[in-house]
Amino acid sequence: MVEDMGASTNLKLISSDKEGFNTLQGGGASQFDVLVLDNQWAQRNAKADTIVPLRREEYPAAQEGTIIEKFNWPYQTFGFDGEQWAIAPRWGWEGMGYNDDEVELADLESEGYAAVWDGDYKAMAADAPTSVIPLVMQQIFDLDENPMAIEVSDSRLETLEETLVEMFNSVEAVHQGAAALRQAMLEGNAEIVLGVGNFELSQLAAEGFDWAKVIAPPEAGGWFWTEGLCLVNNPDLNRDLANEFINACLSPEGQRSICWDGESKGAPANTAAFDAFSEEEQKTIMMYKDKGFEAADEILSGLDQYLISPQQEQWTEIWERAKARSDL
């Protein structure tokens, strides 16, 4: 896509939002014009002055209102100090993956995420505390709020740790990468996987393994993530060219490229691009009740926005401590 625009590029692939943030804070802002980040990292970068605010009139998709309503301008997660700092190109949702040939859906609907540590199915989990812990909290606590938006009591943190020990004792393994979890499902070593969603498992569906499904249990729910395209606070920012690239990403052709071509697939944020995908491709990406992109509002209404928890450091410590205490 970049080659078609006739632009030379300096591309840096980052392994995490934190790495991107540190790169710009460490003097890298002068090397880049566009940053791709997730969720509240737009706010963190805005506060650190590593990115600059966007102007709605520079993005036809925002101006014409074709971005999915949940993410359309102004989108609170990308907002800070009365400005908008990112625009969404794609999104996805997280919960529990399962093999529909081996697992009774009714069991998952009734047990929720507890099916992972109840031991009835071969289970694995993503080795990702900030992905898995919100799901576990949704399962074991009666919360009226997004678990990532609040601080819970010490007694609840203790309950969380004991539940994680139970989970680690029950699962076959934990893996950091999506590829390893997909392979475990392919080899029959995992029938259910906690902490994954359509982004991690849609490649299985794309390869014809239609038993690969994802669920956010009705009582517990799940969460959704949003990528954001930002303008870097580069003293020599080529704003016109950077915005041309961003708008190319939001075009039907760009949306198809970034949402379908990779092994991990996301859903397009621009509704004007929906027709660039076949009905089957839409179902493959969404992995939701055999529905296509038209189900976006339906699924988003039952999920929490991914946030950076105020207790994230404690979560990580609890995760590692529980893992060390377990038989994993």
Per this entry, what is the length of the chain? 328
Residue 216's Cβ-count burial label (10 Å; 0-12, 13-18, 19+) is buried
Q: Does residue 53 sit in the same domain as residue 201?
A: no
Which whole-number Å values give the CA distances from 179 to 95, 126, 200, 201, in the listed order?
A: 17, 11, 8, 9
Q: Does residue 19 sit in the same domain as residue 116?
A: no
CATH at 77: 3.40.190.10
Q: Does residue 216 sit in the same domain as residue 105?
A: yes
Given a contact cutoff of 8 angstroms between Cβ atoms, the answer to whether 217 and 96 are in contact is yes
Given a contact cutoff of 8 angstroms between Cβ atoms, the answer to whether 293 and 224 are in contact is no
Q: Does residue 157 sit in the same domain as residue 204?
A: yes
Q: Given this model, what pLDDT does residue 28 score?
A: 87
Residue 8 has pLDDT above 80, yes or no: no
Give kind and range of the element (H or E) at residue 107. Answer: helix 105-111
In Å, the largest CA–CA distance within the chain is 58
Residue range(s) defining the domain that contains residue 296: 3-88+225-301
Three-class SS of residue 196? strand
Q: How far apart (Å, rounded) are the C-alpha atoms in residues 149 and 214?
A: 24
Per-residue pLDDT band for 1 (boundaries 50, 70, 90) equals very low
Q: Does residue 190 sit in the same domain as residue 295?
A: no
Q: Does residue 158 sit in the same domain as residue 255?
A: no
Q: Over pLDDT 70: what percentage of the chain?
A: 97
For 264-305, the pLDDT digits (tens) are 899 999 999 999 999 999 999 999 999 999 999 999 999 999
Tell me the H-state helices in 6-99: 17-25, 41-47, 60-63
Q: Given this model, what pLDDT does residue 15 score?
A: 82
Mean pLDDT over 47-54 rounds to 97
For the chain, the average pLDDT equals 94
Residue 9 has pLDDT above 70, yes or no: no
Q: Does residue 210 sit in the same domain as residue 129?
A: yes
Q: Does residue 257 sit in the same domain as residue 131?
A: no
* CA-based nearest residue to 98, from 192, 185, 188, 198: 192
Place of tokens 């070593």: 189
For 252-271, the pLDDT digits (tens) are 999 999 999 988 899 999 99
The structure tokens listed for 5 are 């625009």
Per-residue pLDDT band for 14 (boundaries 50, 70, 90) equals confident
Dihedral through CA 323, CA 122, CA 136, CA 18, nearest 10? Answer: 60
Kindly report the pTM of this predicted structure.
0.93
Number of domains in the chain: 2
Q: Does residue 53 sit in the same domain as residue 8?
A: yes
For 193-232, the pLDDT digits (tens) are 999 999 999 999 999 999 999 999 999 999 999 999 999 9
Q: Given this model, what pLDDT does residue 4 score?
A: 55
For 173-193, the pLDDT digits (tens) are 999 989 999 999 999 999 999
Q: Given this model, what pLDDT does residue 124 score?
A: 98
